[in-house]
Copies of this chain bind each other. A is one copy, B any other.
Amino acid sequence: MIEFGQQILAAQPFSTFLGTELIRFEQGLAELRLTLKPEHMQQHGFAHGGVVAYMADNALTYAGGSVLGGNVLTLEIKVNYTRPAIGEALIARASVVSSGRTQAVCRCDVFAVANDGREKLCAAAQGTIVPIPAQKSGK
């Protein structure tokens, strides 16, 4: 399953542009990792909020897709930033809170990982993933 997920990630030019890796992908769970580079920063030397939001958005979509199957998209996402994202990598861990035929509600925690491997929560996210209707995804 993780190989399938990695193929999808490799097909996302934006994810390869940033350098994102899918490190866990199971039924109801997904985990993405991004080694932080200078180009991911904002003016204070932290990872840009947009990078953090991207990590949450993408991890939520993977988690939702793992239970909904087929093509999915993120309908909406909410991100609370809890701490400056300082470290050598970001890890986004998403899990499914509730899922049915029409939606999966997922949560994601984004951690900044220090040199010594210690993780600090830098964002908490929640969002809705939905299946793409067949007539749209069929193309």
- Determine the residue in chain B with the shortest Cβ distance to A50: B54
Q: Are B14 and A42 in contact (CB under 8 A)?
A: yes
Q: Which among B41, B51, B81, B97 is the interface contact of A82 at CB below 8 angstroms?
A: B97
Q: Which among B42, B47, B61, B126 is the interface contact of A124 at CB below 8 angstroms?
A: B126
Number of interface residues of A (CB under 8 A): 49
**Chain B min CB distance to A32 (Å):** 11
Q: Which residues of B contact A77 (CB under 8 A)?
A: 49, 53, 78-79
Chain A 9-20 per-residue mask, 1 if CB under 8 angstroms from chain B, else 0: 001111101000
Once bound together, how far apart are the Cα atoms of A82 and B126, in whole Å? 13
- Determine the residue in chain B with the shortest Cβ distance to A18: B50
Q: Are A53 and B48 in contact (CB under 8 A)?
A: no
Chain A interface residues toward B at CB < 8 A:
8, 11-15, 17, 38-43, 47-51, 53-55, 57-58, 61, 73-83, 97-98, 100, 102-103, 105, 107, 109, 121, 124, 126, 128, 130, 133
